[in-house]
């Protein structure tokens, strides 16, 4: 029997790359089997090294709102590359994309470009500490803000997927300044504020968390956080690396009408290229060097290729509001279809959906926070993942990752996804 090219590549990769992958969830350990190595992507499809094609519902973990390899983005990148790949110096496109972000995101009056969402969140916490003169910050259990030391305390995403929410290498001193609260619990925030009065610089959260699977904020929760932070002089930071420009033109803060002091962004503003950003109120952002004393730098920040791709993407989203109505429609079609099929088959599993993000949890409990998300049957999810993969639908290889939809999904493809779901559910329960 001839070994598949993906198996050959994975076996080789393990000799040179820790675990054979460059990001933990890709290893497929949470769902069984071995990872598929991707050769190319186009529209709603991934194509692997063995010539197989898959309808995929991850879209590079969010940024491919318009689908993969969109001609508009591709042409912008090719044009930018004709002038060089990196300058380490200012460019006109940096100014243009910064102006566009400020016009689109309600909380952002000034913005600094960086290279990843992790870099954005690390920098935002540092700026908040510098601005307030305080050391501690609050994060929510199960929320993932990248792999910075301070954030790997009860973290979501790959941390919980791999079974290690607290990482070795994070010092006790670092952990001591990270205060934890359950999502959707305002009383817990009030208690932390009282117990650490005058010491809390920032409160950071995913306004719509996607790294423990998709959870939705309870009515009034985000506004309650805003009120507490305003009262206590705490910098409220929305991590919109996933939700920014996806749930609405101005992100979750526009959708819910709650404006943070700072926002972290990523993924979509690079049109698929490595990029991130953090921004906020002018008086806070003026603390960033060289305007102020808080140092942050990066040779590849504002990289001309990433800026060209991101600027093209954001201009399109800014001028085509119909994208968001179509994304909402696609998300609703899939979530409603899955719920209908599950009810017909007699399974009362939970599905959370907002716009073009959704998660199917293999639990009958309402999933509103980290603890309820963890009631999911991850073994069942693994079987479901493999069954869907066999039928040509590529899901995120973890129960605790949100799925991201694109406008490349036609009604015909949605029908195929729902048919695969029904066949997969019958397979794993028969």
- Active-site annotation holder among 48, 110, 131, 239: 239
Residue 7, Cα to own-chain centre: how many angstroms? 28
Biggest CA–CA distance in the chain, Å, is 67
Contacts of 277 (CB under 8 A, 6+ apart): 101, 111, 112, 113, 114, 120, 264, 265, 266, 269
> Are 45 and 265 a contacting pair, CB within 8 Å?
no
Interstrand relation of 235-239 and 200-205 (parallel, antiparallel or unpaired): parallel
Active-site residue identified among 93, 110, 136, 144: 144
Identify whether 110 is a catalytic site residue: no
Residue 259 CB partners (closer than 8 Å, separation 6+): 106, 107, 226, 253
Among 110, 139, 267, 383, the active-site one is 267
Tokens in use for 416? 């195929």
Contacts of 100 (CB under 8 A, 6+ apart): 311, 314, 315, 318
Torsion of CA 152, 109, 316, 211, to 10 degrees: 20
Could you tell me how many residues make up the chain?
Answer: 430
Handedness of CA 219, 226, 279, 182 (dihedral sign): negative
Dist. CA 231–CA 234, nearest whole Å: 8
Whether residue 144 lies in the annotated active site: yes
* C-alpha separations of 256 from 203, 226, 235, 370 in Å: 18, 12, 18, 21
Radius of gyration of the chain (CA): 21
**Rounded CA gap, 100 and 311, in Å?**
8
Calpha distance 361→369 (Å, rounded): 12
CA nearest 30: which of 390, 405, 425, 380? Answer: 380
239 is a catalytic site residue:
yes
**Measured distance CA(411)–CA(357) in Å, rounded:** 17
Active-site positions read: 144, 239, 267
């Amino acid at each position: 029997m001839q070994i598949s090219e993906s198996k050959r590549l994975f076996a080789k990769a393990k000799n040179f790359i820790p675990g054979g992958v460059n990001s933990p969830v890709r290893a497929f350990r949470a769902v069984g089997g071995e990872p598929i190595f991707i050769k190319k992507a186009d529209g709603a499809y991934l194509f692997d090294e063995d010539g197989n094609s898959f309808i995929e519902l991850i879209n590079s973990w969010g940024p491919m709102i318009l689908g993969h390899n969109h001609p508009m983005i591709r042409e912008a990148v090719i044009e930018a590359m004709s002038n060089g790949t990196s300058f380490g110096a200012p460019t006109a496109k940096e100014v243009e994309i910064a102006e566009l972000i400020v016009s689109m995101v309600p909380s952002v009056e000034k913005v600094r470009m960086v290279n990843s969402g992790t870099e954005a969140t690390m920098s935002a916490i540092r700026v908040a500490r510098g601005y307030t003169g305080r050391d501690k910050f609050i994060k929510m259990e199960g929320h993932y803000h990248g792999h910075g030391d301070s954030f790997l305390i009860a973290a979501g995403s790959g941390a919980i997927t791999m079974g290690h929410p607290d990482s070795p290498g994070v010092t006790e001193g670092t952990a001591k300044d990270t205060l934890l609260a359950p999502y959707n619990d305002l009383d817990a925030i009030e208690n932390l504020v009282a117990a650490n009065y005058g010491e809390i610089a920032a409160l950071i959260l995913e306004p719509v968390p996607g790294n423990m699977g998709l959870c939705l904020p309870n009515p009034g929760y985000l506004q309650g956080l805003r009120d507490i932070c305003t009262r206590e002089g705490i910098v409220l930071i929305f991590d919109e690396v996933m939700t920014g420009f996806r749930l609405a033109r101005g992100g979750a803060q526009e959708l819910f009408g709650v404006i943070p002091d700072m926002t972290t962004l990523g993924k979509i503003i690079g049109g698929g290229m490595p990029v991130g950003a953090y921004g906020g109120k002018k008086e806070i952002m003026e603390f960033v060097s060289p305007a102020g004393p808080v140092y942050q730098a990066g040779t590849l920040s504002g990289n001309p290729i990433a800026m060209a791709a991101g600027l093209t993407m954001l201009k399109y989203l800014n001028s085509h509001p119909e994208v968001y109505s179509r994304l909402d429609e696609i998300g609703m079609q899939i979530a409603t279809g899955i719920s209908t099929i599950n009810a017909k088959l007699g399974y009362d599993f939970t599905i959370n959906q907002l716009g073009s993000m959704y998660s199917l949890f293999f639990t009958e409990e309402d999933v509103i926070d980290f603890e309820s998300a963890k009631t999911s049957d991850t073994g069942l999810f693994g079987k479901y993942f493999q069954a869907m993969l066999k039928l040509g639908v590529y899901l995120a290889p973890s129960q605790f990752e949100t799925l991201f939809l694109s406008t490349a999904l036609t009604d015909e493809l949605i029908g195929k996804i729902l048919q695969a779901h029904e066949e997969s559910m019958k397979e794993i329960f028969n």
